[in-house]
Amino acid sequence: MSISILSLLALGFVLGLKHALDADHLAAISTIATERRSLIGSSFIGALWGLGHTVSLLIAGVLVIFLHFEIGERTSKSLELCVGVMLVVLGTNALRKLLRSGRIHMHPHEHDRYWHVHPHLHGKQHDGPHTHHGLKVGARPLVVGMVHGMAGSAALTLLVLATIPSPLVGFFYIVIFGIGSTGGMMIMSTLFALPAKLAVGNRFTRASLVVRALAAVFSLGLGAFVIYDIGFVNHLLI
């Protein structure tokens, strides 16, 4: 029995690592982590996301496992819709920062009597968060993690209820799952910061800016899709 429980908890850790790789998680955290040059600071962003994510899951676990609270389908969809809105906000904010810093602007050109415009990147200055220690990241990743945790709480707690007979083991499963997802996100957020860390020359600086712009567009696009899919295709808003 103890071996089975240990295997179950080990599976929870592995699934937590995998859970950190969900597209909406990566889209959201990339808009924050790509702003930083410090690898330690970026890994701290992943840790804060994991903390917020785990706290939300534990609260939902207590409500469902111990207090027998039911998370309805409409509530679950509403929480997922909140994730979509959050992704749009994060992506828009990341683009706003790039535009405000003058790093992205539109160049008009004429070819064969036809005018068109295209975005142009500059890499002369750094507008990301700056501290002497590189650890000041604010509350954004914590809040983002909590929203993601709330949106995923229904599926996880239902899985725990369906497969784990002991409430205490189920609670520990959520804890281990949260530790795994925290570790996975710390790794990913550190990788997202690598382009900025390597931005020594102008070429690398522009590559870092391209990564930031792509992260913003990905977050914005995925958020818009989530809103459309849940709000309109699944008729939550209409």
Full residue range of the structural domain in which residue 77 is found: 19-233
Residue 222's pLDDT is 97
> Does residue 5 fall inside a structural domain?
no
DSSP 38-60: -HHHHHHHHHHHHHHHHHHHHHH
> Does residue 2 fall inside a structural domain?
no
* Joined tokens for residue 189: 């957020």
Residue 146's pLDDT is 97
Residue type, position 158, single letter: L
> Does residue 108 fall inside a structural domain?
yes
Per-run averaged pLDDT (10 residues), the chain, 238 residues: 80 95 96 88 95 96 89 92 97 92 56 54 48 60 96 88 86 95 96 77 70 94 96 90
Residue 207's pLDDT is 75
Count of domains observed in the chain: 1
* Joined tokens for residue 228: 């459309």
Torsional class of 190: left (φ above 0), alpha (ψ -120 to 50), beta (otherwise): alpha
The pTM for the full model equals 0.84
> Does residue 14 fall inside a structural domain?
no
Neighbours of 139 (CB within 10 A): 10
> Does residue 7 fall inside a structural domain?
no
